[in-house]
Structure 1
């Protein structure tokens, strides 16, 4: 397919076709280059060359390199937040929903490890409205997870001697920082490491009752 055929054109049908080809190639190329060379060292020209599109195509979908990076993460975060909301709103006992929520974080991260690792390594380089919007959306995910932990505490199935905020930050931070030490080709896959983190997390939720802390 020629480059011209993949660039955005008028009409809803054609726009959807472009989104499924040019846009996806841009995202894939940016993810690979950001992972290999770093966000700061990767130019827009290198991204469009690798994606085999023009700069006009990239700027049709993304207003800047910063928006491209945040868009990669925000789309995954929106998907993950929706999955967590469905789990949290389910009818299962709270301990089962907490376990399912923790497993979902691991499984979703393993499915999109390259994109999420790029974001974890590059987010600190951004300081604009896109980064701020992403932080707000991430906070909503954190609050939703924390609310589920609090529900478990109120139901008497989760320890109350540690605050729900500490519990939430500990688990999500541990998983979010796994990229700093995990090495492919080791004795465990990323998914196996994640499942072990879930085992530690779920196993550590119950403990002898102590003085409750504010959550």
Structure 2
């Protein structure tokens, strides 16, 4: 049976994910053992294997929870009753904010995704492709409507923006001069300026 680590009453899966995220960020995925994780979470190995089949399942879930949040939010922006320029701008800013708010998760994942099993790696790629395709559909909608220039292929526009997003883990610091929203607004505005005719 899992026991509470500190009496905080958090569910075991949340404690395991929090411990794994902290340890992977501090020591790296490959230098963190299952024993390190269960000790930090205050549970048994049996509890870990009950909720997560392996250490690579934890890594997959760390990134998956961020991607699910971002997908839900993108779907809401895309379906909103608003001009396409506004919907794309809000979606472009939101992915920056949510990435910064979950910076450890995204940083860990991009540094460690090569440790995933081939099956999980393929699954993550499919999930990310679905997100990028929904984002690209907004770009294409604006291009068809003449709101955005068609000078740039939509695929390159998506790669341009997400290249910036994926690079946040390298340089962004919470104690830096820009808040997450300011960074998001700047990057979204750069994207919109590129797309305006």
Provide the TM-score with structure 1 as the length reference: 0.84
Q: Does 1:119 align with 2:100?
A: no
Q: Does 1:35 align with 2:25?
A: yes
Structure 2: distance between partners of 1:176 and 1:149: 19
- Alpha-carbon distance change, 36 to 164 in structure 1, aligned in 2, over 3 angstroms: same
Offset, 1:186: 2.8
Which residue of 2 is the match for residue 91 of structure 1? 81
- The structure 1 residue matched to 2:120, chosen from 122, 130, 137, is 130
SS in 2 for 1:204: helix
Structure 2: distance between partners of 1:186 and 1:91: 35
Which residue of 2 is the match for residue 105 of structure 1? 95
Q: Does 1:65 align with 2:50?
A: no
Question: For structure 1, which runs of at least 5 residues remain unmatched after alignment?
Answer: 8-17, 208-215
Offset, 1:4: 4.0
Which residue of 2 is the match for residue 211 of structure 1? none
Provide the TM-score with structure 2 as the length reference: 0.91
Which residue of 2 is the match for residue 195 of structure 1? 185
Residues 175, 194 of structure 1: 8 Å contact kept: no
SS in 2 for 1:63: coil
Structure 2: distance between partners of 1:194 and 1:116: 16
Question: For structure 2, which runs of at least 5 residues remain unmatched after alignment?
Answer: none
Offset, 1:141: 0.3
Q: Superposed, which structure 2 residues align to 1:1-215 within 5 Å?
A: 4-5=2-3, 20-207=10-197
Offset, 1:192: 2.8
The one of the two structures with greater contact order (alpha-carbon pairs below 8 A, sep at least 6) is 2
Aligned length: 194
Which residue of 2 is the match for residue 10 of structure 1? none
Structure 1: distance between partners of 2:86 and 2:180: 23
Offset, 1:173: 1.4
Offset, 1:184: 4.1
CA offset digits 1:43-70 (Å, max 9, x no partner): 1100000000000111111111111100
SS in 2 for 1:129: helix
SS in 2 for 1:40: coil
